[in-house]
Amino acid sequence: MKNWISFPHVEGRASRQAHCDLPEGTYEQEMGREGFFGPASQLHHKHPPTGWVKWEGPLRPRAFDLNKVREVGPDPWAAQLVLHNAATKVRFWRTEGTMEALARNADGDDILFFHEGRGHFFCDYGHMTFRDGDYIVVPRGVQWRLECDEPAQVLMIEATGDSFKLPAKGIMGTHAIFDPAVLEVPRIDEAFQDQYSERETACLIKREDTVSMVTYGFNPLDAVGWHGDLAPVKLNWRDIRPLMSARYHVPPSAHTTFLSGRVIVCTFAPRPIESDPGALKLPYFHANVDFDEFIFYHRGQFFSRDNIHPGMTTYHPIGFPHGPHPKAYETAMQYSRKETDEVAVMVDTRDMLRVPNLPDGVEWSDYYKSWQQK
């Protein structure tokens, strides 16, 4: 049994409540633990905590434009690796047409987030359609393939050696954020039955990032029925109803969609902006203490960022504060916008993420300068 050292205290000029009615001329920074779930303090600064003028060394804010990942891959294991550590791998996959071989991940569960495209997902359990904005959670060991009616762009998030689960919703109840009734599972429908075949079929199995191929004398997606409570599930961001408050900016943890032991996946969906005059109206400055943060921007204008468009990503490692860009901060505090139109996927990881070699032009090398006042 262990407890955090706790000593609630107020020092100097401070707000009465976090994220509300800041002392005039100050900028709030939250220093917190456990990714907004643990103890925290709000520090009030005379200058924005992101007011750096130079940056040296490898630890820095980074941004990537995945629209510039052009290569189309025939299978998910050929997808571009974007970030990785021992607990997760984040890939970006462009694909089109019909997968010739099945895929199976023996390393962990996969989340497929469809940034663009439309088509069909076939697996051991049956058939589902997919469209832009869909999450499909694929349990470890399930065989699957895609048939694309339109070229697809897919953000892939792996729970390496682990499983993705739903977050506890506490006093909000089980129907908060999204009702589990909106989750869809594969069906053994006519489309699935039509793909039964005696044609020789290969399955590409990934284990410890090495791919093996097993070939069957038939299509092994040949189930005639199933029962139980383990299967791929589909959720579209359009079915997510964000937690919100008119008087208080809720933390990113309130937008948790899926999580594993060391990875949290959140969805930022359109919502009204806080209307109370004293409430902060965008994410507050905060220090990365226990989690690296990666965000993929799917659509809309991300209200705390400038010069970020759909298909781009940002990566803020542990070790320094970050928060809204100056122009976005000014716009928000003037209450110029009454609601957000953003859709974004955030991946928070306990362990430091590594950046592999990316194609030329994918990284925005001057991103760290984007907080500088113009």
Here the CATH number for the domain that contains residue 314 is: 2.60.120.10
Decide which of 185, 207, 237 is a domain's last residue.
237
Structural domain includes residue 21: no
Decide which of 221, 237, 253 is a domain's last residue.
237
User: What are the residues whose beta carbons fall under 8 Å from the beta carbon of 340, sequence distance 6 or more?
Assistant: 268, 270, 271, 273, 300, 303
Q: Are residues 180 and 325 in the same domain?
A: no
Q: What does pTM read for this prediction?
A: 0.94
- How confident is the model at residue 345, as a pLDDT? 98
Structural domain includes residue 84: yes
Structural domain includes residue 253: yes
Q: What is the dihedral of CA 271, 112, 162, 266, to 10 degrees?
A: -10
Structural domain includes residue 13: no
- Count of positions (residues) in the chain: 374
Structural domain includes residue 18: no
Q: Are residues 264 and 327 in the same domain?
A: yes
State yes or no: 322 annotated in a binding site. Answer: yes
CA distance 338 to 350: 34
- How confident is the model at residue 305, as a pLDDT? 73
Q: Are residues 139 and 188 in the same domain?
A: yes
CB of 161 closer than 8 Å to CB of 108 = yes
User: What are the residues whose beta carbons fall under 8 Å from the beta carbon of 204, sequence distance 6 or more?
Assistant: 75, 77, 101, 102, 103, 104, 211, 212, 213
Q: Are residues 191 and 118 in the same domain?
A: yes
Look up the domain containing 279 and give its range: 27-63+242-371
Q: Are residues 90 and 145 in the same domain?
A: yes
Q: Are residues 164 and 207 in the same domain?
A: yes
- How confident is the model at residue 374, as a pLDDT? 59
Residues in the chain where the model's pLDDT stays below 50:
none
Q: Are residues 229 and 250 in the same domain?
A: no
Q: Are residues 103 and 213 in the same domain?
A: yes
Q: Which residue has tokens 């052009």?
A: 70
Helix (H) or strand (E) holding 7: none
CA distance 180 to 187: 17
Helix (H) or strand (E) holding 194: helix 190-194
Number of domains comprising the chain = 2
CA distance 46 to 109: 45
User: What are the residues whose beta carbons fall under 8 Å from the beta carbon of 205, sequence distance 6 or more?
Assistant: 104, 105, 106, 211, 212, 213, 214
Q: Are residues 272 and 172 in the same domain?
A: no
Structural domain includes residue 11: no
Decide which of 209, 237, 265 is a domain's last residue.
237
Q: Are residues 91 and 233 in the same domain?
A: yes
Structural domain includes residue 226: yes
Q: Is 67 helix (H, G, I), strand (E, B) or coil?
A: helix
The 10 Å Cβ neighbour count of residue 112 is: 23
pLDDT in tens, 236-258: 999 999 998 898 888 888 899 99
Q: Are residues 203 and 93 in the same domain?
A: yes
State how beta strands 233-236 and 256-259 pair: unpaired
- How confident is the model at residue 91, as a pLDDT? 98
Structural domain includes residue 12: no
Q: Are residues 317 and 341 in the same domain?
A: yes
Catalytic residues: 249
